[in-house]
Structure 1
Amino acid sequence: MPKRVLQGTVVSDKGDKTIVVKVERRFTHPLLKKTVRRTKNYHAHDEGNAFKVGDVVRIEESKPISKTKSWVALASDAEA
């Protein structure tokens, strides 16, 4: 099964080697036919502490790294 890759914005870089990424998804409501936005925060592993708050970053699913981290930061869109 392929690993999921999501794109979002870094909202926190306070932890050592950890960033919090806000991922937004949009979908059409089945009854109201209106576009709805939902956001979710993911804790991702950032080995070199390279990402700062406000960076747009891609994260990839991985095996659990800690209690809350199961994602790894890949590269920001500016670098890719």
Structure 2
Amino acid sequence: MPKRILQGTVTGDQNNQTVTVAVERRYKHPLLHKTVRATKKYRAHDETNSFKIGDKVRIEECAPVSKTKRWRVVTEASA
């Protein structure tokens, strides 16, 4: 099964080797037919502490690194 890759914005970098990434998805509401924005936050492993708040990054699913981390930062996303 392929690993999921998501793109989002770093919203937190306080912890060592960890960043919080907000991933936004858009979908059409089934009844109102209006575009809805839903945001979900993921905690991702950042080995080198190189990403700061506001950076656009890509994260990839991986084996659990800790209690809350199931993702790792792959690379900085292109604009």
* Bucket of the pairwise TM-score, normalised by the shorter protein: over 0.9
Which residues of structure 1 form unaligned runs of 5+?
none
**Over aligned residues, Cα RMSD in angstroms?**
0.6
SS at match of 1:38: strand
- Give CA deviations for 1:10-63 in whole Å, capped at 9, x if unaligned: 000000000000000000001110000000000000000010000000000001
Partner of 2:71: 71
Structure 1: distance between partners of 2:48 and 2:30: 42
* Aligned counterparts of 1:33 and 1:67: Cα–Cα separation in 2: 38
Match of 1:35 in 2: 35
Equivalent positions of 1:1-80 (< 5 A) are: 1-78=1-78
Normalization by structure 1: what TM-score? Answer: 0.95
Task: Kindly report structure 1 stretches of 4+ aligned residues shifted beyond 2 Å.
Answer: none
How big is the shift at 1:71?
Answer: 0.0
1:24 alignment partner, SS class: strand
- Report deviation, 1:77: 2.1
